[in-house]
Structure formats: C-alpha cells, structure tokens
Amino acid sequence: MTADNGPIGNVRETAVAGALTVSSRPFHDDRGRFARLFDRDALAAIHAGRPIVQVNHSLTRQVGALRGIHFQKTPYSEAKWVRCIKGRVFDIAVDLRRASPTFLKHATVELSAESANMFFLPEGCAHGFQVIEPDSELLYLHTAPYSPGAEGGVRWDDPLLAINWPLDPTDISKRDLSHPLLTQEFEGLNI
C-alpha cells in the first residue's frame, strides 16, 4: 500500500503486516520549517477507531544506545506512532501476533528529525530503537495507557529475530538485557 495523505505525506507498507512508514511534507521558508505531526482525518484509514490516549517523549544521549524491544500484553496492547523530533534513530517493529502472516518478522526504518517521517506499529508488535546521532529524541503517540503489569519484552539479540543493528550497542538497560529469548519464553507470551 502506498497512499498520498495530503499534508501528512506518503504511507508505505513495511515487512510487517500493518506496520507503516509515513512521510511528512514540511513547509519551509526563510524562518525555518513547519510540519504537521499527526492528522486524524488524513490518517483515518490507518488510525480509525483508535484514540490517542497517551503521548510520551524520550531523550537518549549516547550513540549506539539501544532501547527495547518492548510491548504491552493483551488486553493492554497498543498501537503507536513513533516520530524522531531530534537526531536520528534506527527503529524496529517485531510482529508478535500469532495469526499474522508476518509473525516473528521485523521491519526497520531510519527515523530522523530531518526526514520528518514516522512509523506506525499496530497492536501486537514490539518496539525498539538504536540511537545513530547523539541526544536523539522520540515522540510517541499511544492508543492505550501504559500498564506496568502488562509490560513485556524481547531480547535485542534474539537469534530467532537476527536483527542487523547498525552499530554495536553501547548502552542497554539491565531490564532490557534481562528480556527472555523467544525460543525460551514464547509459549508464555500473551500478545
């Protein structure tokens, strides 16, 4: 699927069913630029029936730092829009939906403030990213509130996924290092 959504831009499919990239069309003049970050009506075909209930922001300072790969378990699973508002990151969606034609596949996209693109991850997909430029900032729009008891994760280096990260990881949290391998724990996941 490729569609033109006016001021929001082009929508493109990825290697994960339902995960999409959306380009923006910033307006430039001698003062700088303006971009519409989200438009419910322009993105209705993707977003319909999914209200935005939470907006989060992250700052990750160190190049090579890796965050994720995180998800929310059913019934708290969420769709999310991810946009880089400063810097540049390698962003990933992992399909954990058993009934999906792309189950256990992943899609990657480079998000940057300069490109003004965003990534849509449907419910049942895990999310992670690696910082390519220092002091990178992400803005997340979520369709469900965060629920600590529904939190789950997948190991960044899971051999079943064989993710080709662009840089050697330099900083990963203890929590993210402790996520189970899919081969060990998949039966216990309730996505």
Token representation of residue 59:
């700052």
Please pick, among 70, 76, 106, 146, the residue that the annotation labels catalytic: 70
Is 70 considered catalytic here? yes
What DSSP line would sit under 118-135, residue for residue?
EEEE-TTEEEEEEESSTT
Q: Cβ neighbours of residue 66 under 8 Å, at least 6 residues apart?
A: 128, 129, 130, 131, 156, 165, 169, 171, 172, 176
Is 76 considered catalytic here? no
Q: Which residues are bridge partners to 56 per DSSP?
A: 140
- H or E element that contains 4: strand 2-4
Please pick, among 106, 140, 142, 179, the residue that the annotation labels catalytic: 140
Q: So which residues are the catalytic ones?
A: 70, 140
